[in-house]
Amino acid sequence: MSEKGRLVLVDGSGYIFRAFHALPPMTRRDGTPVNAVYGFTAMLMKLVDDLQPDHVAVVFDVARKTFRSDIYPEYKANRSEPPEDLVPQFALVRAATQALSLPLLEAPGFEADDLIATYARLGEDAGLATLIVSSDKDLMQLVRGDITMLDPMKQRRIGADEVFERFGVAPEKVIDVQALAGDSTDNVPGVPGIGIKTAAELIQTFGDLDTLLANAETIKQPKRRENLINFAEQARISRQLVTLRDDAPMPLELSALSTPRRDMDLLTAFLKEQEFSRLLVRIGADGGNGNGAKLGGAVRSMASSPSPSSPSLADPLPSDKAGSAPSTDHVAAPDALAVAAQPVEADYQLITDVDSLAAFLAAATAQGFLAVDTETSGLNAAAADLVGVSMALAPGKACYVPLRHGAMATETGDAQGGLDFSAEAPVSYKQIGFDTAMAMLRPIFEDPAILKIGHNLKYDSHILLWPRNGGINLSPVDDTMCLSYVLDGGRVGGHSMDHLAKHWLDYDTIKFSDVCGKGVKQVPFGTLAPEAALDYAAEDADITLRLWHLFKPRLGAEQVASVYERLERPLIPILAKMEASGITVDRSILARMSNDFAKRMAVFQTEIHQLAGEEFNIASPKQLGEILFDKMGLEGGKKAKTGAFSTSEDVLEDLAASGVEIACKVLEWRHLA
């Protein structure tokens, strides 16, 4: 059986806003802003070149007012006007689409999402595998069979499993969940007091919205029952608003979406008109004005310090670095998102001689920034010894410098520590002498004109501060863990490098246990041969740099730069030095506090047991779940894969919000515990 043809539908409106907010301000010589145009063009070129679709179209919104405004006049009425610098770029983005010889779809009175739904249905009927390129959750209702999505922000494919992960229901039930939960962004009202999680549980229980509303009087929670009855019509209206029409007017027949040959003369003329010299270089055309190194003169208001760019994909930007510290307002080169989202292909170098290290550090000095990560003998920064250093200059281009491999593990140590660097090593590996290497690293690590990028750099800074580890004051720094916290606190499920690599790059990192083993067979990292440590160590610096390319430009775009620059970033070296110095505590006061907490916990424990009608281990999630959902029959119980009910903080807070007293008491008990 021959492989199915592929139809790619690009959410053009989503691409515009993503490009505008991801890139720093850029203008042509005549003052026209073009940062969104540049980002849109670069991303679209890369997308089509990578996917090589049989059919393709870029879909746009025409105007804010659509048939949905007739159904519900307040629909999207809360949205502010687009940024002033973005407005003149809308027409240029459409011109960019035409310059790339790509079909453009738009229909008055309908949203781009409706056109995408319509052409996805046509593609399905024609036997094509349809890929919708968008980060818009509203399009997830279309996922089925051969219709999937690609989230360009995370470079993540979205199928039925991913939709269930997002909404808690299958794709065909998404509109029912959205109708109940509403959407504050689009001013879809929904039913008050019902969020995505509760909506999913209700739809799973009743099957669909109509059945739920018909049986609303059977809902046990009084307030929820009342809202479902009183706002039933509002839920039905919301369903109309969130349901995508697959019968929208068709500007072009499906056959007209066959991917055309790119008209290079047309594209070259457009890129020259916009002064996009770097894109001209990418397609092999002459920049025309000799200013390719400065984005064809199109860069305005960009930081003069080094920016997140890859030597292989980005030209150098203007810099007055000599003798000055780099600004912390580093901005992404226009290809930063594309660079960071490239497949994680490794070209890692094991550096064991002075000349190679000198060459790498010279490149770092010329560039003005590098990612840094330390490998140590343990997780306790106050006691751990430095075993090696990894560094990265560009995505995929990283190195590892072993310093103390071959150390002997002491009998009292474990796999995360216990290395004796004073004893004669049982194995001799080729590596640069520790003092020699640190003498070469110190000028770079302490150079105020070179930015050091890391993940949880407080730990690495603390490690390097100790005299036995070089006594280096790592500065200035950028920390991707802090960046993630500022940008996405409470939204991404965690800020560890492993988690962020999976979330943003869809990449599973090498784990410590993969190289050192598990359990009693686990060996200390310093006993590994440097060759065995290379990929694990260098990958940390590589992934960190990729994350920085993604995160740093968002600070300004999302207006949180001051939080990071004034609060989080300055605290990194301060906290490292505080941890190295330690603090003095009054043990008697701590003892009194401990006794007070114990007494208060005992009171809550008694009250919880009285409410439950029996004694049980409050600290046991299994026993607590059985009390709440089996014995007491409370709503909202959901079993995990282990078969036990979840008693997470979210679950307890939902119960507490519904007036369940025992849930309030358990939360208080946990707070003290």
Residues 67 and 206 in one domain: yes
- For 173-183, how does the pLDDT look when each residue is reduced to its tens digit (9 = 90+)? 999 999 999 99
Domain CATH number, residue 100: 3.40.50.1010
β-sheet bridge partners, residue 62 = none
Please tell me the distance from the alpha carbon of residue 409 to that of residue 425, in angstroms, as a whole number: 9
Q: Does residue 370 belong to any structural domain of this protein? A: yes
- Is 371 strand, coil or helix? strand
Res. 557 pLDDT band, cuts 50 70 90: confident
In the numeric block, the tokens 């968008």 are attached to: 134
**Amino acid letter, 275:** E
Same domain, 375 and 452: yes
Q: Is the dihedral of CA 249, 255, 257, 262 positive or negative?
A: negative
The residue among 242, 275, 307 that closes a domain is: 242
Residue range 344-402, pLDDT digits in tens: 457 899 999 999 999 999 999 998 999 999 999 888 888 889 999 999 999 889 999 99
Tell me the pairing of strands 369-376 and 386-394: antiparallel
Split into its structural domains, the chain has a count of 4
- Say if residue 543 is in the same domain as residue 419: yes
Provide the pLDDT for residue 585.
85
Whether residues 220 and 278 fall in one domain: no
Q: Which of 125-139, 307-321, 395-409 has the lowest mean pLDDT?
A: 307-321
Average pLDDT score over residue span 656-661: 82
Q: Is 586 helix (H, G, I), strand (E, B) or coil?
A: coil
174 with 292, same domain?
A: no
Residue 306 in 3-state DSSP? coil
Please determine, for residue 292, whether its predicted confidence score (pLDDT) is greater than 90: no
Chain length of the chain? 673
Amino acid 1: pLDDT = 36
pLDDT greater than 70 at residue 299: no
| Measured distance CA(469)–CA(419) in Å, rounded | 14
Please give the DSSP secondary-structure letter assigned to residue 26.
B
pLDDT at 346: 73
Residue 345, pLDDT score: 58
C-alpha to C-alpha distances, 287 to 93, 268, 313, nearest whole angstrom: 20, 9, 15
Residue 151 confidence (pLDDT): 86
Burial (CB < 10 A; 0-12, 13-18, 19+), residue 453, is: buried
Tell me: the pLDDT tens digits for 203-253? 999 999 999 999 999 999 999 999 999 999 999 999 999 999 999 999 999
Angle at 436 between CA 433 and CA 438, to 5 degrees: 105
* Residue range 501-528, pLDDT digits in tens: 888 887 888 888 888 888 888 888 888 8
| Unique residue bearing structure tokens 């794709």 | 171
pLDDT of residue 4: 76
Q: Among residues 552, 618, 612, which one has the least CA distance to residue 340?
A: 552
d(CA 425, CA 437): 19
For residue range 558-579, list pLDDT tens digits in order.
Answer: 788 888 888 888 888 888 788 7
Higher pLDDT, 219 or 303: 219
Per-residue pLDDT reduced to its tens digit, 255-287: 999 999 999 999 999 999 999 887 887 788 754
CATH number at residue 607: 1.20.1060.10
> Is residue 580 scored above 60 in pLDDT?
yes
Between strands 408-409 and 6-11, the pairing is: unpaired
Share of the chain above pLDDT 70, in %: 86
Question: 455 in a domain, yes or no?
Answer: yes
Are 541 and 668 contained in the same domain?
Answer: no
Q: Does position 291 have pLDDT exceeding 50, yes or no?
A: no
Q: Is 549 a residue whose pLDDT tops 70?
A: yes
User: What is the SS3 string spanning 49-111?
Assistant: HHHCCCEEEEECCCCCCCHHHHHCCCCCCCCCCCCCCCCCHHHHHHHHHHHCCCCEECCCCCC
Domain boundary residue among 534, 564, 581? 581
Tell me, yes or no, whether 530 and 656 share the same domain: no
Q: Is the pLDDT of residue 158 over 70?
A: yes
Burial of 609 (0-12, 13-18, 19+ CB in 10 A): middle
Which is more confident, 337 or 61? 61
Residues 489 and 617 in one domain: no
Predicted confidence band of residue 643 (pLDDT cuts 50, 70, 90): confident
Asked if residue 311 is part of any domain, the answer here is: no
Q: Are 134 and 158 in the same domain?
A: yes
Please check whether residue 184 is in contact with residue 228, taking contact to mean a CB–CB distance below 8 angstroms: no
Percent of the chain past pLDDT 90, that is, above it, reads 55
Q: How confident is the model at residue 427 (pLDDT cuts 50, 70, 90)?
A: low
Question: Any idea what the CATH number is for the domain that residue 423 is in?
Answer: 3.30.420.10
* pLDDT higher than 50, residue 298: no
Residues 562, 623: one domain?
no
Same domain, 10 and 118: yes
pTM of the model: 0.51
How far apart CA 593 and CA 387 sit, in angstroms, is 40
- Are 466 and 610 in the same domain? no
What is the DSSP track for 322-343?
TTSPPPS-----TTHHHHHTS-
Give the pLDDT of residue 289. 42
Once rounded to an integer, what is the mean pLDDT over residues 585-592? 90
Within-domain flag for 150: yes
Q: Report the phi/psi class of residue 523: left, alpha or beta, with left for phi > 0 and alpha for psi in -120 to 50.
A: beta
Distance of CA 162 to the CA centre of its chain: 16
Q: Please give the helix or strand (H or E) that residue 125 lies within, else none.
A: helix 112-125
Q: Is 1 a member of any domain?
A: no
**26: alpha, beta or left? (left if phi > 0; alpha if psi -120 to 50):** beta
Average pLDDT, the chain: 84
Residue 108 has pLDDT above 90, yes or no: yes
- 3 state SS of 186: coil
Answer whether residue 316 shows pLDDT above 50. Answer: no
Measured CA to CA, the distance from residue 383 to residue 381 in angstroms comes to 5
- Any idea which residue has 């730069």 for tokens? 561
Predicted pLDDT of residue 22: 66
**Rounded Cα distance, 62 and 559, in Å:** 28
What per-residue confidence (pLDDT) applies to 407? 61
Choosing from 530, 549, 581, the residue where a domain stops is: 581
* Token duo for residue 470: 């070089």
Q: Is residue 329 part of a domain?
A: no
- Angle subtended by helix axes 497-505 and 480-488, to nearest 10: 60
Instruction: Judge whether 306 lies within some domain.
Output: no
Over 90: is that where the pLDDT of 306 sits?
no
The tally of CA atoms less than 13 A away on the side-chain side of residue 230 is 9
| Dihedral sign computed on CA atoms, order 306, 309, 312, 317 | negative
Q: Which domain holds residue 640?
A: 587-672
303 lies in a domain? no
Rounded mean pLDDT, 599-614? 93
